[in-house]
Structure 1
Amino acid sequence: MSGEGLVLGIDMGTSGARAVAMDGAANVVASGAAKLAGFCEDHRDPLGWWKAVQAALLETLAAIEPARVRAISIDGTSGTMLPAAADGAPLATPLMYNDPVPDLAILDRIGAHAPKESAAHGTTSGLAKLQAFQSLPGVFRVIHQADWLAGHFTGLYDVTDENNALKTGYDPLSRSWPDWLARTGAQVELLPAVLSAGAPIATISPPAAEAFGLPSETVVVAGTTDGCASFLATGADRPGDGVSALGTTLTVKMLSDRPLFAPEYGLYSHRIGDMWLAGGASNTGGAVLAAHFSAERIAELSAAIDPTTETGLNYYPLTKPGERFPIADPALMPRMTPRPAEDGEFLKAIFEGVAAVESLAYERLASLSSLRLRSVRSVGGGAGNQAWTAIRARKLGVPFLPAHSEEAAAGAARLALSGAREAGVL
C-alpha cells in the first residue's frame, strides 16, 4: 500500500448510488454517482443496485489512486431486505423500506411478543419481512440491502450492523438477537451476525480487489442505515449535538450518551459506538410551505422578512390533521389562523411555527436524556433560507454549526475511517 491512506463510503439510496473518497482528516477528495434508472426499470432490482454501486465507485476511483484505499463502508435504506443464497444470489424480489407485509398473522405474532419499545413493530418492519421470506427454498440468510452489497466486497452474506438490524428486532442494549424473536415465528437461524457500525468485517475478497484495482489489504467495514449515515456526514459527534433535516417533513435527531426509547412518540435509538442517535420525524416542514407558495415566491418574500421580530401568531403548521413527533396525536389539527393579509407575514408565521415544533422536539429529546442541546447542524432544502435559519437560531438558542456534508456516502466514509483505524490500516 502506498501514499496517504484514503477510505471509501458508498450510499445506496432509493434513486441511485453515490460514492466518496475521504482522507484521514475527513475531507472528501473525490466522488461519483449513478442513477438506478440507468441500470434497471425497478428500484427493487438488486442487480440494478449493484450495477449502480459499481458505476459510482469506478467514477470515484478514477479520480484517485486506488492503491491508497484502506477501507470501504456501505449504507443502505433502512428496512430494505432480501432473501439470499449462500453465494449472495437473490431468491426473491426485495421488500423495500416502505413496502408493507400484509400478513396479519405475522403482524399479530410480532405484536404479541415484541416489547413495546422494539423497532420491530409495524407492517414495514424488518422482522415482518424476514418472516415473509423465510419459507422460500434455498434461503441461506435474510439480509438488509447494505449487508448484501457489502457481501459483494467480502463474499460474506451473513453479517449486518447494529443500525440495520434494529427494525429486525435486534436489542441494542444487550447487543444481541433477543429470545422473544423465535416466539414470533421467526427462523432466527436465518438472521445475520451483528457487528457495531464501523467495525471491521473482513478484508476485501480477491475477486473484488481485482475488479476495482484495490489493495488486497483493504478492510470492509460494517455500515449503517441511510438515515444514520446522513447524520454522521454532518460531523456531529458529541452528546447534545443535534441535526435538523428541513425537507418535505422536519426530522430532528440528537446524539445521546444513553438510549432513548419512547414508543408513544415513535422514538427509538440507534447505537453508534458508545453513543446513541435518537430522534423523530414531524409532519410539519417544507410540504406546508409548498402548499401555499412556490419556491420562487418563498425566496422573494424571505428577502424582506425581519427575523428578529415575532408575528405573535402561534401556528402549528400541518397540511392535514395528524402529528407523529414531538406530539403524538393522529387527530392533531393544523393551526394556521388567523392568516395575515400580507403574504410575507404569513410565510414568516409558518417559519416561526415550524421552528417552534423543532424547538419542542429538541426539548423532548433533552428531557428524556437529561442532556442539554449543545449545537444544531441543518440539512435539507430549507437549510439554505437565511431568514428561516435566523428565526430557528433565535428560538433554539444554541450555536448553529455548518454541516460538513449532506451526503450519506460521507457518513459511510466516516465509519470506514473508524474501521480502518481499528484494524490498524490507517
Structure 2
Amino acid sequence: MSILAFDLGGSALKACLFEDSGRAVARARVDLGFDEPVPGWSEADPVRWWDALRNAVAVLVREAPPSVAGIQAISICGFTRTQVFLDGELNPVRPAIGFRDRRASDYGELMRVNAAGDDPDIDQLNGFHPLSRLLWLKEHEPENWRRIRYVLEPKDFLNLELTGIPISDEVSHYWLAKAFEGGQASLAARCGIDRAILPSLGRPHAVIGAISAAVSREMPFLKGATVVVGSNDTWSAVAGMSGLVPGRAYCVSGSSEVVGMICGREAHASGLATVRWGRDLWQLGGPGQNGSNTVDWANAVLRSNEAHAVCTRDTPQPLIFLPYLLGERTPFWDGDLRGALLGLEATTGASDIRQAVMEGVAYINRVVVERAESAAGHIASELRIGGGGARNARWNQVRADVLGRPVLASAEPETGLAGCLATAIAALGSDSPGDDLQSQPRFRRFDPSPDRQGRYDELYRLFGEAHEALAPISRQLAGMARRDSAQSIHSHKKGIL
C-alpha cells in the first residue's frame, strides 16, 4: 500500500506518491494563483484547488509504477491565513480571501477595542486575523454573510471534497478557535460573530474517514484510501525537516517566508504568534509577506545578467534594503509598510542590490528569531530551512552570517510533502507524528563566518534604525496611494455614467 501527499500552495499544488518505504515513486505539479480584483485584495475560487487535485491525480495515475497496488492514506497540507466560506450545502459562498489580502486592515482596531487589555496576543489582532476578515464580510457583503455555515482553511476544502466532512485541525484554525474561547465573553462574541461557523477540530494526524463513494467512482485510483486531517504548510514543512524539537528555529522559504522557533513551553513575544503545535510544543514566529518573491522582484526590475550573479566583492557595498514590497506581517503586522533601498552610489551594481535584498529578508529573520529567543529564555541551536529559498546556497550563507547561527538547508526539495507523509504514517498507527519524523533527513550546513559577524551586527542595527525612521513615511505614501486609487475609480465611474 502507498501514501499520497498533497501540498496546496499559493502558486501551485504539488503531489507525491510514496511507497511503504517512504520512497517517492511519482510526482505532479499543477500551477495556481490568486486574483487581485482590487489593489490590496487577494482571492481565489476554491473549486480551482479541487480541479488542480483531480488533475494531479490524473498525472500520478499515468506515472505510478505497476507495483503501486492501492492508496492507503491521503494527507494534505496547505497555505493558511486564508478563509473558505461555505453555505449549508457545503458549497463556496464566494471566493476565498487569501493570506496576503489587506482589505480588513481597519478591523484590527475594532478587535483590539473589544479585546481584554492584558491579552498577550494583542499584536495578532490585525487585518490578517481571520476574525477581521469575517467582520469585513459581515459589513460589506451582508447577503453572503447570512449564507455562511462554516469557515474552513484551504486544505480543509480539499478534504471536504474527498470525504464530504467539514473538519479542520487545531493548528491551522488556532486563531479563529481562540477568538471563540470564553463563550459569551469571548472576543468573537463581543464582535458579534457566532461560534457555529467553526467546524470540528482534530489533531493533524487524526483520521477524517474514507474517500466518498462519488470520489471513488470518479477517481478509482483513490478508492479505499483513508483521509487524514493534516495541517498547514508551515507545520508540515517543519515536521518534514524534523524540526518539531524545542530549541530549533525554522524558516520555510517560499514566495513569502514563515520564520519561528520551537519551544517546550508557552511564551509570548511582541509581534510573534504563539501557537500550540503539539503536546508540550509551542511555536513562536509567524508568516511574513516577503521572501523569494522579493529576490524575483529585484531580478525582474534590474533586468540585467548581473542581477543573477553572486556578489564577488570581498566587502560588498554596504546597503540597507527594507523588504516591504507587500507590507509586512510577522513581526510588524503593518500592511502599509513600504520598501526602501538606502546607501546607493554611482558605483552601485546590480549584484550589490541583489545582495542587499537577500540581506534585508535575513534581517527580518533575525528580528523574529531574537524576539523568540528572548521570550523562550534560550538561544536557538540552529535554523533549519526548507522550501525554494533553501536551494540558494549564497542566500543560506547570508542568513547564517546575519543570524550568527548555523543554517541547515534541507536536501529534500519538498519538506511539506515529507511532513504530510509522516503525518499519514502517524495516523496509521503512531501516537504522535513527531515520533515518526526523526528519520534524520539530509541537510547542507552553513556556519556563520566570524569575519563577517561585526559587519552584519552593524548593518542589522542600521536596518532597525531605518525601519523606525521610514515606517511613518511609508504609511503616508500608502495613504496617498489609496486616495489616488479611490479618485481614479470615482473618475472612471463618473465617466461611464
Deviates more, 1:252-261 or 1:332-341: 332-341
Return the letter of the residue paired with 2:79: T
Looking at structure 1, the residues matched to 310 and 55 of structure 2 have their Cα atoms a distance apart, in angstroms, of: 42
Indicate whether 1:70 and 2:72 are aligned.
Answer: yes
Structure 2: distance between partners of 1:35 and 1:359: 32
Q: Which residue of 1 aligns with 2:228?
A: 221
Q: 1:100 to 1:347 in 2, by over 3 A?
A: closer
3-state SS of 2:97 partner: coil
- Deviation of the 1:138 alpha carbon: 5.2
Q: Would you say 1:415 and 2:423 are equivalent positions?
A: yes
Tell me how far 1:112 sits from its aligned partner: 0.8
User: Closer, same or farther in 2 for the Cα pair 1:118/1:70, shift >3 Å?
Assistant: farther
Q: CA deviation at 1:189?
A: 1.6
Partner of 2:115: 113
Pairing 1:123-162 to 2, within 5 Å after superposition? 123-131=127-135, 132=137, 136-137=145-146, 139-157=148-166, 159-162=167-170
Give distance in 2, aligned partners of 1:386 and 1:415. Answer: 29
1:97 counterpart residue number: 99
Q: Which has the higher contact order (CA 8 A, sep 6+)?
A: 1
Shift of 1:353: 6.0
Query: Could you say which residue in structure 2 is the equivalent of 1:59?
Result: 59
2:277 alignment partner, one of 268, 271, 274: 271
Instruction: Map 1:256-405; keep pairs closer than 5 Å.
Output: 256-262=263-269, 264-269=270-275, 271-272=277-278, 274-280=280-286, 287=294, 290=298, 293-294=302-303, 296-302=305-311, 304-306=312-314, 313=318, 315-318=319-322, 336-337=342-343, 339=345, 341=347, 343=349, 355=362, 357-379=364-386, 382-395=389-402, 396-398=404-406, 400-405=408-413
- Deviation of 1:318 (Å): 1.4
2:490 alignment counterpart: none
Give, in angstroms, the shift of residue 195 of structure 1: 1.0
Tell me, in whole angstroms, the C-alpha distance in 2 between the residues paired with 1:357 and 1:105.
Answer: 25
Tell me if the contact between 1:110 and 1:184 (Cα under 8 Å) persists in the aligned partners.
no
Gaps of 5+ in 2: 437-497
Change (3 A) 1:420 1:63: farther
SS of the counterpart of 2:63?
A: coil
% identical aligned pairs: 22
For 1:331 and 1:205, how far apart are their aligned partners in 2? 46
Q: CA RMSD in A?
A: 4.3
Residues 266 and 54 of structure 1: CA distance in aligned 2, closer, same or farther (over 3 Å): same
Shift of 1:103: 9.8
Q: Would the aligned equivalents of 1:256 and 1:371 in 2 still touch at CA under 8 Å? A: no
One-letter code aligned to 1:364: R
2:8 aligned with 1:12: yes
Q: Is the 8 A contact 2:108 2:126 kept in 1?
A: no
Structure 1 residues 323 and 151: alpha-carbon distance in aligned structure 2, compared to 1, 3 A threshold: closer
- Show CA shifts across 1:103-156 (max 9, x none): 967962564136450686233432234453687455432322222221122211
Task: Tell me the CA shift for residue 19 of structure 1.
Answer: 1.6
Which 10-residue stretch deviates more, 191-200 or 130-139?
A: 130-139
Tell me which amino acid in the other structure corresponds to 1:140: R
- C-alpha contact 2:386 2:415 (8 A) present in aligned 1: no
Q: Pick which of 41-50 and 65-74 moved more.
A: 41-50
Flag the 1:196–1:261 CA change in 2: closer, same or farther, 3 A. farther
Q: Secondary structure at the match of 1:224?
A: coil
Which residue, out of 251, 259, 284, partners 1:244? 251
- SS of structure 2 residue aligned to 1:163: coil
Aligned to 2:487: none
Tell me which amino acid in the other structure corresponds to 1:412.
C
Residue 262 (structure 2) aligns with: 255
C-alpha spacing 1:144/1:385, structure 2 compared with 1 (3 Å): closer
What do residues 305-362 of structure 1 show as CA deviations (whole Å, max 9, x unaligned)?
A: 55xxx6694x542156987656789889967437594646676566556545534432
TM (normalized to structure 2)? 0.67
Aligned-partner Cα distance in 1 for 2:407–2:59: 37
- TM-score of the superposition, structure 1-length normalised? 0.77
Report if aligned partners of 2:169, 2:230 keep a CA contact under 8 Å in 1: yes
1:46 maps to 46
The count of residues paired between Structure 1 and Structure 2 equals 410
Residue segments in structure 1 that go unaligned for 5+ positions in a row: none
Give the number of the structure whose residues are more often helix, by fraction: 2
Report the alpha carbon displacement of residue 69 of structure 1 after superposing the two structures with TM.
1.8
Give the C-alpha shift of residue 234 in structure 1: 3.7
The code of the aligned residue for 1:166 comes to Y
Partner residue, 1:32: 28
* Cα displacement (A) at 1:265: 1.8
Q: 1:183 aligns with which of 176, 190, 193?
A: 190
